[in-house]
Structure 1
Amino acid sequence: MRPVHVAAALAALVAPAFAAGFDLPPRTPGQWEMKVQVDTAAMPPQIIRMCLDAETDKLLNAKFAGTAQRLCSRQEQKTDGDAIVLESDCAVGDLKTFSRSVITGDFASAYVMRTDVQMEGSNAPDGVKRTTPAGPSSQQTTIEAKRVGECAAGFKPGDVDFGMGRITNLRDMPDPNIN
């Protein structure tokens, strides 16, 4: 998987999962499709399919909850009309991120999550920092998620299809909270 594809795939999984410190409603069990568009990625939107039940929806959040709590000094949630607004200040090494996500729709059938991230610093090794231009200082990611019905034939709860035959199960993904 190319690095840009990895970023888009992780954005689709982690964006709702970083909300682990937040109080978001559970998604309705079934087959979900997520169209992920990253503005700094020179690629068409990526489509990711997931088969979720109540247990695996919670598992997805739990896998990243400790990471969010460990990396983020601030996580705030508020409601603005029908939208849920999430704001976080996080850091990995000397890379600091300030994000604001606005979620519209519902977790029963469809929602859109637009995330704006401002970045400062770099997580690259010193030698790389000196020889490469700085990356983007901001990034916008849009995730359009919709429930498309019951899980597809051959899919079991927790299966994630990243496209082009790359299917993994959430239970088999490494736990980012284990050092």
Structure 2
Amino acid sequence: MRTMILISGALALGLAACGQGGGEAKTDAAAGGAAPTTAAVLEGPQPGLWRVTTAMTGVPGGATVPAVEQCVTEAKFEAPAQGSTPGADCTTEAFRREGDAVVGGTVCQMQGMKTESTIRVTGDFSSRYVMEVRTKMDPAPMPEMAETVMTMTGERLGDCPAA
């Protein structure tokens, strides 16, 4: 069985292209303009067996990751732990609800590069969700990587198999 921290993993994948991630939780809404409606941790998809497919644009040749099936016992949207990547100075927005979406983001500075990521997750969280992580890098390591988009689609397959 597995606990799934959705945003931490997605953010790590989204920032992997530039070698950044992690950060310090920011509980105010200065970056997004809207006040958070709950704490920085929000409940995610319901427990069960999920298939997650991932695709990326803005990376050389594009990227598609093979679908992963995993048994989830608990899922939460929360910011990555402070100091996840040594040398990166990151600030992470508290996750909040905006209508039918869970929204958050992060800004990192490392080795002269600024990375801004926005995260938006929609869906009913009982059968399906779509998470989009949009990352802008300045300066970009390559011109085509100035903006990348990672899209993760989760589909609940049913209950976890008995152990």
TM-score over 0.5 for the pair? yes
Q: What residue in structure 2 maps to residue 144 of structure 1? A: 153
TM-score norm. by structure 2 comes to: 0.60
**Is residue 88–residue 100 contact of structure 1 (8 Å, CA) maintained in 2?**
yes
| Cα distance in 2 for residues equivalent to 1:35 and 1:13 | 16
Structure with the bigger percentage of strand:
2
Post-superposition CA distance 1:83-109 (Å, at most 9, x none):
222122123443321011111113332
1:112 and 2:130 are equivalent in the alignment? yes
**Is residue 88–residue 99 contact of structure 1 (8 Å, CA) maintained in 2?**
yes
Where does structure 2 lack aligned partners over 5 or more consecutive residues?
1-5, 13-21, 26-39
Q: What residue in structure 2 maps to residue 90 of structure 1? A: 108
Give the deviation of 1:152 after TM superposition.
Answer: 4.5
Give the deviation of 1:115 after TM superposition.
Answer: 1.6
Structure with the bigger percentage of helix:
1
Give the deviation of 1:24 after TM superposition.
Answer: 2.1
Q: What residue in structure 2 maps to residue 65 of structure 1? A: 81
TM-score norm. by structure 1 comes to: 0.56
Where does structure 1 lack aligned partners over 5 or more consecutive residues?
1-10, 123-128, 157-179
Equivalence map 1:17-36=2 (5 Å): 21=25, 22-36=40-54
Give the deviation of 1:140 after TM superposition.
Answer: 0.6
Equivalence map 1:1-179=2 (5 Å): 14-15=9-10, 21=25, 22-39=40-57, 40=59, 41-54=61-74, 57=75, 64-66=80-82, 67=84, 71-121=89-139, 136-152=145-161
**Is residue 42–residue 95 contact of structure 2 (8 Å, CA) maintained in 1?**
no
Identity value in percent: 26
| SS of residue paired to 1:53 | strand
**Is residue 25–residue 107 contact of structure 1 (8 Å, CA) maintained in 2?**
no
| SS of residue paired to 1:108 | coil
Change (3 A) 1:61 1:104: closer
| Greater C-alpha Rg | 1
| Cα distance in 1 for residues equivalent to 2:11 and 2:51 | 14
Tell me how many residue pairs correspond in the alignment.
130
Post-superposition CA distance 1:106-146 (Å, at most 9, x none):
33322111121101247xxxxxx8xxx55611101111112
